[in-house]
């Protein structure tokens, strides 16, 4: 599938790749490119770092509430950053049976710790936020800027893991009304609770049990949303775009991610090879070396070095693409300066859709 097909037809684009390859800038450029062809695109970063805000020059203006970055005719580019705690709180409010249950959960110490600091929580909440944005009538395309590779796999797998946990017998036992603090515990759970109490402390365990009991009755809503998120990530309306640079270490990490997606029955539709060494003319490196004795030999020597780096990068990328027969590939040349504003994003967008 070509990039233009992806931007015109898909509902979700997940941008993934290792750190340091310009993934966030590419994600923003994809959203801008989509807006240029008339779509209402939003880019969301689920990476805790604020690179998206930096890349489009809006560091203090982007939060959990979507912000309109640019209007282009009928097209729009929006941006948002995941706030895990705020999103989790809204889910609790949505699925609680009454205001009393909301208050009990939001004031629970265990809930506050889990919803604000536990890494696995971020993965699930990110998938939930994606589902919410995809169902928001303001947008017809959601572009996700994921954390570096291994965390991105956790994001993909999180909804299914949560759904399985909520369906597990142990969870059913934990939310049983007979679990009042540490006092009335079923025989089956006594060894588990005793061990957990020694590790985390009885008070912390009491908070956890109180939270799970307060959570009772909400699990169906959370499980249903988790299943919907998992279905969306694997659905035909979603495309995965792998951003990489033609270095052996980043391509090795990209291969790891591609294998992980394959295990989850997800294919990569497009590879964007970013920060590729630029070419200056069509002269091959070995031809340039024949001119090093000329009066301008230093220039020829530099040209030979640059072309050698470009040829090596092309060879590494070609080898990598052999393992991704269903994916197309776009090359984006390395830039001389960091991307710090929307003008830089506009330049990348032009490169992405160039003939």
The total number of structural domains in the chain stands at: 1
In a domain, 45, yes or no: yes
Residues 6+ apart with CB under 8 A from 207: 108, 109, 110
Q: What is the DSSP letter of 184?
A: B
Angle ∠(337,339,340) on CA atoms, nearest 5: 115
First CA to last CA distance, the chain:
15
In a domain, 301, yes or no: no
> Which alpha helices (H) appear in the chain, and where do they start and end?
3-9, 23-36, 51-55, 84-95, 99-106, 109-117, 119-134, 149-166, 169-174, 190-200, 202-215, 219-233, 248-263, 285-289, 297-321, 342-352
Q: What pLDDT, on a 0 to 100 scale, did the predictor assign at position 331?
A: 95
pLDDT of 86 higher than 80: yes
In a domain, 291, yes or no: no
Q: Of 52-56, 74-78, 210-214, 316-320, where does mean pLDDT reach its minimum?
A: 210-214
Give me the CATH number covering residue 332. Answer: 3.40.50.300
Q: Cα separation of 75 and 33, whole Å?
A: 10
Residues 6+ apart with CB under 8 A from 213: 175, 177, 179, 180
Average pLDDT over residues 170-186: 54
Q: Is 165 helix (H, G, I), strand (E, B) or coil?
A: helix
The residue count of the chain comes to 355
Closest CA to 268 of 227, 309, 328: 328
pLDDT of 82 higher than 80: yes
pLDDT tens-digit readout, 5-29: 999 999 999 999 888 899 999 999 9
Q: Cα separation of 64 and 349, whole Å?
A: 25
Q: What pLDDT, on a 0 to 100 scale, did the predictor assign at position 92?
A: 93
Q: What pLDDT, on a 0 to 100 scale, did the predictor assign at position 27?
A: 96
The region, left, alpha or beta by phi > 0 then psi within -120 to 50, assigned to residue 20 is: left
In a domain, 132, yes or no: yes
Q: What pLDDT, on a 0 to 100 scale, did the predictor assign at position 143?
A: 98
Which structural domain range is residue 17 located in?
Answer: 3-84+120-164+228-284+314-352
Q: What pLDDT, on a 0 to 100 scale, did the predictor assign at position 313?
A: 93
In a domain, 205, yes or no: no
pLDDT of 271 higher than 80: yes
In a domain, 59, yes or no: yes
pLDDT tens-digit readout, 181-240: 444 444 444 555 454 444 445 555 666 677 777 787 888 899 999 999 999 999 999 999
Closest CA to 166 of 90, 220, 112: 220
Map tokens 């009491």 to a residue. Answer: 206
Q: What pLDDT, on a 0 to 100 scale, did the predictor assign at position 59?
A: 67
In a domain, 21, yes or no: yes
Closest CA to 27 of 71, 80, 72: 80
SS3 labels along 122-144: HHHHHHHHHHHHHCCCCCCEEEE
Average pLDDT over residues 248-272: 93
| Adjacent-strand bridge partners of 298 | none
Mean pLDDT of the chain: 85
Q: What pLDDT, on a 0 to 100 scale, did the predictor assign at position 61?
A: 78
Q: Of 26-35, 62-71, 178-187, 283-292, where does mean pLDDT reach its minimum?
A: 178-187
Q: What pLDDT, on a 0 to 100 scale, did the predictor assign at position 329?
A: 96
In a domain, 70, yes or no: yes
Token pair in block for residue 279: 């070419």
pLDDT tens-digit readout, 98-152: 999 999 999 988 888 888 877 678 899 999 999 999 999 999 999 999 988 677 8
Residues 6+ apart with CB under 8 A from 354: none
């Amino acid at each position: 599938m070509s990039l233009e097909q992806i931007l015109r037809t898909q509902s979700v684009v997940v941008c993934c790749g290792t750190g340091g390859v310009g993934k966030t800038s590419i994600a923003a450029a994809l959203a801008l490119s989509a807006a240029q062809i008339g779509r209402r695109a939003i880019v969301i970063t689920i990476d805790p770092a604020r690179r998206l805000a930096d890349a489009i020059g809006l560091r203090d203006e982007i939060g959990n509430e979507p912000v309109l970055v640019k209007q282009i005719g009928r097209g729009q580019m929006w941006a948002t950053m995941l706030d895990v705690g705020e999103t989790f709180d809204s889910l609790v409010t949505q699925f609680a049976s009454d205001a009393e249950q909301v208050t009990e959960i939001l004031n629970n110490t265990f809930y506050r710790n889990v919803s604000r600091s536990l890494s696995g929580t971020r993965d699930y909440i990110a998938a939930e936020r994606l589902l919410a944005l995809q169902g928001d009538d303001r947008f017809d395309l959601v572009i996700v800027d994921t954390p570096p590779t291994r965390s991105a796999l956790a994001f993909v797998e999180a909804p299914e893991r949560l759904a399985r946990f909520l369906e597990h017998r142990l969870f059913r036992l934990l939310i049983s009304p007979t679990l009042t603090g540490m006092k009335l515990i079923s025989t089956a759970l006594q060894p588990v609770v005793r061990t957990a109490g020694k590790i985390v402390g009885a008070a912390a365990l009491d908070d956890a049990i109180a939270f799970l009991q307060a959570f009772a009755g909400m699990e169906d809503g959370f499980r249903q949303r988790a299943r919907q998120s998992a279905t969306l990530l694997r659905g035909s309306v979603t495309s995965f775009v792998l951003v990489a640079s033609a270095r052996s270490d980043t391509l090795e990490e990209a291969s790891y991610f591609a294998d992980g997606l394959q295990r989850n029955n997800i294919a990569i539709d497009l590879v964007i090879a970013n920060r590729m060494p630029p070419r200056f003319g069509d002269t091959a490196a070995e031809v340039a070396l024949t001119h090093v004795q000329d009066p301008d030999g230093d220039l020829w020597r530099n040209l030979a070095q640059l072309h050698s780096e470009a040829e090596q990068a092309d060879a590494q990328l070609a080898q990598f693409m052999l393992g991704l027969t269903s994916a197309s590939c776009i090359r984006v040349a390395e830039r001389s300066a960091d991307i710090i504003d929307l003008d830089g994003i506009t330049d990348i967008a032009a490169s992405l859709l160039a003939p």
